[in-house]
Amino acid sequence: MSDTNITDYYPETPEPKSEVPEVPEVPVPETDDFSVDLPDIPLPDMEEDFDAAIKDAFTQDVGFNFCIVGVGQGGSRLAETFWNLGYRRVGVINTAIQDLTPIKLPDENKLLIGNSGAGKNTEVAEEVFKVKYEDILDFLKRIFGTKYERVLVCAGAGGGTGAGGIATVLEVCHDLNQSLGIEAKDTDAKVGGILALPTRGEGIRVQNNAKKTVSKLVGLSQAGVISPLIILDNEKIKQLYPKLSVNQFWGTANNSICSLFHLFNTICEKQSAYTTFDKADLETIFASGIITFGATPIKDTTATGISYAIRDNLRKNILAGVDVSTGNIAACVIIGDKESLDNIPQDNLEHGFEQLSRIMGKSSTVHRGIYSHKKPGLVAYTSIGGLTAPDNLFDYFFKVDRVYK
Ligand SMILES: Nc1nc2c(ncn2[C@@H]2O[C@H](COP(=O)(O)OP(=O)(O)OP(=O)(O)O)[C@@H](O)[C@H]2O)c(=O)[nH]1
Ligand SMILES: [Mg+2]
């Protein structure tokens, strides 16, 4: 058993407040330094040595060494959140310097291509990314180093740069993976994506961009070329956390998803005296296409209470409302204080795990994990994979009022 305390990396246990789940602490970006002199953004033709094995800055081991790329402003902020968690193979790409400047990453982790932004025009961005293919390849080669296992590309689906550029970046990542022997072919899919859907108020153009982008990436995921694909719904965040200020909003959105992702990536390296969730279990989730995450405190530890909490956690997550019953693989990790774990009958926990199997149907698999930590209380973390994007996905996102409460 590892002697590192689980509370060192485990997001704060949510306290029951109102109906909504608590979120990990939100870093509020400082905005007062945006107007200062622009930093030197490395130009694509700069030749620099790169460290063949770039080391992450975690205090905990992780299951998979990830590279993270942020495209456009939203994508870059997601990538920056991974950086803040300790990921170091992180690069951000944009077509506008004013969007790159506020991202708190070292200048050598930023790439500016083009110079005037894309103004929510995906075609403009698409063209720039295609023309700069080789520059992007050189940049990512330097940022990734040679020792990693998976890549995650993040973008806001409704923008110009992120939406227009993501497909080319995914292609570059496959190229790199294949040159390093990490993939033999694109369908080995060691490249995944996080896409953020716009809120309802962002207008038709943004919605249309998002529709096109999600459609393209869902297609790639169905073709087995990208995995995992995580679709985050900003509208859902707005509804679940209505009181957030503008500054807190993106922080909450990005932090919730990145810390859940990180939790699974770290927990799979931990031994448990109860039930261990391991790296091979996580691999099956990461390789399953569209995935979703949830987290919820368990207050009622009866069999029914645990089942309810697990169901509820899938409803109240911040990811797009795909139907979890279409999934075929799940991970459910319960973390609690030793006293609770020693007193809750195993059957009650089993009932919760079985609930997931029942939701997904006969041929599904549920990987389980039970871990103790020092903080009082019990929390269930869930990830469901192999999800099918419904045919009416876009009606659901954009035509029908998305009500999540
Ligand atoms: N989850 C999340 N979504 C974001 C964030 N920032 C922006 N978005 C979403 O991403 C979409 C695209 O916005 P940007 O990322 O600013 O656009 P861009 O890719 O830079 O494109 P252009 O500015 O048009 O070149 C928006 O519609 C927002 O909904 C963020 O920090 N987190
Ligand atoms: Mg932008």
Question: How far is residue 368 from each of residues 281, 284, 331, 341, 351, measured CA to CA in Å?
Answer: 9, 13, 6, 14, 12
Nearest to 41 by CA among 85, 67, 76: 76
10 Å CB burial of residue 76 (0-12, 13-18, 19+) is buried
* CA–CA separation, 310 and 52 (whole Å): 42
Reply yes or no on whether the pLDDT at 358 is more than 70.
yes
Instruction: Decide: 366 and 314 in contact? Cβ < 8 Å.
Output: no
What local confidence, expressed as pLDDT, does residue 338 receive?
92
* CA–CA separation, 346 and 342 (whole Å): 9
Atom 29, ligand 1: residue with shortest CA distance: 198
What local confidence, expressed as pLDDT, does residue 362 receive?
84
Residue extent(s) of CATH 3.30.1330.20 domains in the chain: 289-387
Tell how far the Cα of 292 is from the centroid of ligand 2, in angstroms.
26
Strand, helix or coil for residue 343: helix
Query: Can you tell me which atom of ligand 1 is nearest the CA of 237?
Result: 1
What local confidence, expressed as pLDDT, does residue 42 receive?
55
CATH of range 289-387; options 3.40.640.10, 3.40.50.9100, 3.30.1330.20, 1.20.1250.20: 3.30.1330.20
Q: Which own/partner contact pairs does 24-31 have at CB distance under 8 Å and 24+ positions apart?
A: 24/255, 24/256, 24/259, 25/255, 26/244, 26/248, 26/251, 26/252, 26/255, 27/84, 27/251, 27/255, 28/247, 28/248, 28/251, 29/102, 29/104, 29/247, 29/250, 29/251, 31/102, 31/247
Task: Find where tokens 């040679």 sit.
Answer: 146
Of 69, 73, 128, the residue with max ligand 1 atoms within 8 A of its CB, to mutate for a pocket test, comes to 73
Residue extent(s) of CATH 3.40.50.1440 domains in the chain: 62-227
Percent of the chain residues topping a pLDDT of 90: 60
* CA–CA separation, 137 and 156 (whole Å): 21
Q: Look up the CATH number of domain 62-227.
A: 3.40.50.1440
- Cβ count within 10 A of residue 297: 17
Q: List, for residues 241-295, the tens digit of each pLDDT value.
A: 888 888 788 998 899 899 999 999 999 999 998 999 999 999 999 999 999 888 8
Atom 6, ligand 1: residue with shortest CA distance: 74
Query: Can you tell me which atom of ligand 1 is nearest the CA of 198?
Result: 29
Tell how far the Cα of 190 is from the centroid of ligand 2, in angstroms.
27
Residues with CB under 5 A from ligand 2 (ion): 73, 99
Tell how far the Cα of 230 is from the centroid of ligand 2, in angstroms.
21
Nearest to 382 by CA among 326, 334, 331, 322: 331
Q: What is the mean pLDDT of the chain?
A: 85
Nearest to 197 by CA among 220, 223, 177, 217: 217
- Ligand 1 pocket check for 228: Cβ under 6 Å: no
Question: How far is residue 144 from each of residues 35, 52, 125, 176, measured CA to CA in Å?
Answer: 30, 8, 23, 9
Within 8 A by CB and 6+ apart from 78, the residues are: 68, 70, 154, 194, 196, 254, 257, 258
Task: Find where tokens 């306290």 sit.
Answer: 15
Please give the distance of CA 9 from its chain centroid, rounded to a whole number. 17
* CA–CA separation, 69 and 105 (whole Å): 12
* CA–CA separation, 358 and 73 (whole Å): 40
Nearest to 194 by CA among 129, 147, 259: 259
- Ligand 1 pocket check for 80: Cβ under 6 Å: no
- Ligand 1 pocket check for 164: Cβ under 6 Å: no
Reply yes or no on whether the pLDDT at 129 is more than 70.
yes
Q: Which of 61-65, 155-159, 310-314 has the lowest mean pLDDT?
A: 310-314
Between these two residues, 362 and 278, which has the higher pLDDT value? 278
What local confidence, expressed as pLDDT, does residue 399 receive?
57
